[in-house]
Structure 1
Amino acid sequence: MKLLPNRRLVRFADVGSYSPYCICIRDDIIVIYIWSVTVKFNEYNNRNHVIWMNTDGIVTKRSLFSEIGWKRPCSIQNLESGLCVLYCLNCETTLHSIELLDAKSDKCDKLYCFKGIYGFNPQKNFECKGICVDKAGNILVSDYRHHSVYVLDKELKYKKTLFDARNGLDKPAAICIFNNHLWVADGNQIFIFNYECVGSS
């Protein structure tokens, strides 16, 4: 329950019978990504339910879509251009993918996917523990395997490496931007770097 300024009580929206896997908030819009997977005839089928609601708990939009395969959401960012999702590719490895979904589509159609850097196929080499977004809409990515944090543009194309092992990074994981600083969780320590927005793409 939530008490509104006019003293009226409202219920926060029911997000369904499955547990949310990730959540984000931007411009007073909360986005919740609910996911479940079933196995039939040795084939995975994942069910995706994305809910947009305001801070009063009122649902403003829902998207429901299914895909063949095992692709679990780990983190989401609500952008003007769509919904950026970090997925774990399967239940047996720690590999990841990043996709930009069309938030205007009822089925959250895929607009772009991250193609990798350094000439490595991300489906075989990309292990990411965190993403965040700067004010210009660039996506910042922690690359666990390559000990680095780099920037992708709004089409998920590599722009530049910000920090890497030369800056002390070893196992960069969760990242966020706060007060023009980039915070990076790395093993048992946290690095705080000055960060200026990489210009709009």
Structure 2
Amino acid sequence: MQRQNIFHQSFEVTKEQRQALHGHKSYILWFTGLSGSGKSTIANIIERKLHELGISTYILDGDNLREGLNQNLGFSQEDRKENIRRTGELAKLFVDSGIVVITTLISPYAEDRKEIRKRVAKGEFIEIYVKCPLEVCEKRDTKGLYKKARKGELTNMTGISAPYEVPETPEIVIETSQYSSEECGQEIINYLKINDYLTY
């Protein structure tokens, strides 16, 4: 289908009306960091805490998305970029629906993360850098990926044979090698409270 034959359709119910219905703002909490840094663990804590506060949420986990929406993608640079693009577009739809969406993907390239930020309104993309030294992530190796990468059984492993571009100006930095998961989670909740993200 040629792009000139596509026409944007507008509808009556707005994002703001959906947010009012939920009683809070909608935005993306974008977790980025190396495999094993603790992204999914912290995201799970955040979703629980937000749920307890009456906030409507949904987690888009990188591995889970690769079981369905992104199952046809590999781990080349091109496929990684498409993986992030699709996830970003999906996250944007959640924001438009009035839901707080929590994404947990390595998302190694800074430009890809910047592109998603551009796709939503100012303040709707909160980049959370889950900072953890490679040696700590490798020691955890919860999925056994680093072990495979060191043996040469796994290529394009971020931090080993593929690059990770550290966020330059993330909204939040949590250091999972220095603080507990609960402490890191509370730091994010405190940020959301201070910056008035928990009400409409």
Same structural fold, with TM-score higher than 0.5 when normalized by the shorter chain: no
Greater relative CO, 1 or 2 (CA 8 Å, sep 6+): 2
Q: TM-score, normalised by structure 1?
A: 0.24
Q: Which has the higher strand share?
A: 1
Q: Which has the higher helix share?
A: 2
